[in-house]
Amino acid sequence: MTHTYRITGMTCTNCKASVEKALHSLDHVDSVTVDLEASEATINMSKHISVNTLQDALSSKYSISELKETNVFKTTYTEKTAEESALKQLFPLFLIFAYIIGTSVLLNRNPWNTEGFMLDFMGIFYIVFSFFKLLDLKGFPESFRMYDPLAKAIPAYGWIYPFIELVLGLLFLMRIEITLALVVTLIILGMTTIGVTKSLMSKKSIQCACLGTALKLPMTKATFIENSIMIIMAVVMLLKTYN
């Protein structure tokens, strides 16, 4: 009996090996093959094993679920539950965005300053997002290179990217070299957005590295939207600078 499952939380080859070893140790499992890029595991088993049993065998870092219409056994997996699961996973991202927007509004509300709001939003965005990436500087590059074109071509870029974000955040908040920071923002987020777009179009289920590996966020349209917001703000600010 061959069954395919979706596994989230894997960011590198070590994760793949760990998942394969854990699942293969279960009784009635004959073989396990894990596809890191697709975030899927194919398991050959002599007797049906419940998803809960499979999950218990894995570290809490990973989540496993059945793929729709892939198993001969009845499954409770539906598009609705998949959407609900994705929204639940994305809740930390939405909450962080709400805090960033709220803080930026409070800093520029009296009197209202649109330019100041955008600079503070971008500055706080970079500071917060770099913080989460730095929590696991070892694991972030592996996850980042799965979709960022430059990180794929130059692995060292993934290691320095969190520090680039940190510096950009400080430049925006301190109002230093704003034009340079805006240009760099367009370049690095432009490249990342290209990678995100390709991943979404391929419909591969991979982990988003926007908040590092501390929070297991799936790659969704929300990732594309957050990058687009930053790019639009950078374009608007550059146009104001040269008009």
CB environment 184-205: b (16+ within 10 A), e (fewer): bbeebbebbbebbeebbeeebb
pLDDT at 77: 43
Amino acid at site 86: A
- The reply to whether the predicted model has a pTM over 0.75 is no
Better pLDDT: 54 or 81: 54
pLDDT at residue 60 tops 90: no
**Mind listing the pLDDT tens digit for each residue in 6-57?**
888 887 777 888 888 888 888 888 888 888 877 888 888 888 888 888 888 8
Encode pLDDT of 131-182 as tens digits.
Answer: 988 887 887 888 788 888 888 888 899 899 999 999 999 999 999 999 999 9
For residue range 90-115, what is the model confidence (pLDDT) as tens digits? Answer: 777 788 889 999 999 999 998 999 99
Buried/exposed 34-45: b ≥16 CB within 10 Å, e otherwise: bebeebbbebeb
Pick the range with the lowest mean pLDDT from 87-101, 113-127, 197-211: 197-211
Whether the Cβ atoms of residue 133 and residue 140 lie closer than 8 Å to each other? yes
Give percent above pLDDT 70 in the chain.
82
Residue 5 to residue 81: CA distance in whole angstroms: 15
Domains of the chain: 2-66 (3.30.70.100), 79-241 (no CATH)
Q: In this predicted structure, what is the pLDDT of residue 103?
A: 94
